Structure 1
């Protein structure tokens, strides 16, 4: 057993958040395998980041997975919704990447049944993708993605974004001077990116360098 993933400590957390775009996130759920291409992420830079859970060295039972080894699963809840993070640095360096949205590609029927939403609304937000995956608890916290965990991020099966856009993070406007830092990354033109306007969608290729297969 490796009990860590060296990829997540191979570069600064903001760079890792960019590199995760296009990777395949999967979950071996009780109903079957579900998954999708990661199209939107946010980097959280630890103790110095006023919008991060570990700001100022805060360490609690709730955010302890962030302090785990690289690749640790960190699930937390906000306003009744569950969100999915991966610890992105060495043990005791509490920086992480929030997976905000995926383009569904595996187990779409399962996800539709879980969320009862159709179209791009299925997984175009961090709480939405977790609901679509059927994850509504924190039982996988402290596991390592892909290391005997039902959650995995395949770094090899990766689509190439034609262009990566950056912006300030979402939902942290009142969290101090780091709130406006450009630490949100997304595949430009992908319709599953949260809050994207219809006019900005790349209807042909969904923002990838290779055309997507549409149903």
Structure 2
């Protein structure tokens, strides 16, 4: 039903890829069934020259190591109790990544309800980077996995025509990088995270 996009999809420059990811389908094939969400919000982190990036100044640690790898690798990290998922981007040794901030549920609605909590309205299941990984059963174990490979991959969706851009969320201490318009989202989509 879903087919992973090929590796060349990820070869685009980071900001271009951030926009191209909108409308594509993030798929996780779980033992209990498939969950899938249409990507509606992304945030680009431009590596060495971007103060908001974990790899600012080419910082190479156990956590950031995967960002130095090839485009299309999975970069997961923990923030508080949440797992956040990113798409590694840019040429090898250029540590850039794109955070998947929000998806719109398209498949496995029941399973997502189970994973997120049936008491929550559907609009709150996947409207944020920590929420969507919970709803889709995505854990830290995917660090270093490649998005072209099952069971976690990105499949072709429909292109998004109304794309808006703005500053990234929650990066308050990163000086000039605070205002870079590196957050991309589908206009008027109810699953885009609330901008505080």
1:1-215 maps to which residues of 2 (within 5 A)? 5-10=7-12, 12-116=13-117, 117-136=120-139, 138-147=140-149, 149-154=150-155, 157-195=156-194
Larger displacement relative to structure 2 (188-197 or 73-82) = 188-197
Measure the CA separation in 1 of the matches of 2:30 and 2:92.
Answer: 28
Displacement, 1:196?
6.4
For the 8 Å contact 1:173–1:180, the answer to whether it is kept is no
2: CA distance, partners of 1:77 / 1:29: 21
* TM superposition outliers: structure 1 runs of 4+ over 6 Å: none
**Which structure has more RCO (C-alpha within 8 Å, separation ≥ 6)?**
2
Secondary structure in structure 2 of the residue aligned to 1:139:
helix
Task: Name the CA distance, whole Å, in 1 between partners of 2:74 and 2:169.
Answer: 21
Q: Normalising by structure 2, report the TM-score.
A: 0.92
Q: Which has the larger radius of gyration?
A: 1
Equivalent-residue separation in structure 1 for 2:161 and 2:11 (angstroms): 25
Structure 2 equivalent of residue 213 of structure 1: none
Identify unmatched segments of 5+ residues in structure 2: 1-5
- Paired residue total: 189
CA distance in 1, matches of 2:31, 2:52: 34
Q: TM-score, normalised by structure 1?
A: 0.84
Any gaps of 5 or more consecutive residues in structure 1?
198-215
CA-CA distance at 1:91 after TM superposition: 1.6
Please provide the CA RMSD for this pair: 1.5
| Structure 2 contact 45–98 (Cα < 8 Å) conserved | yes
The residue aligned with 2:3 is none
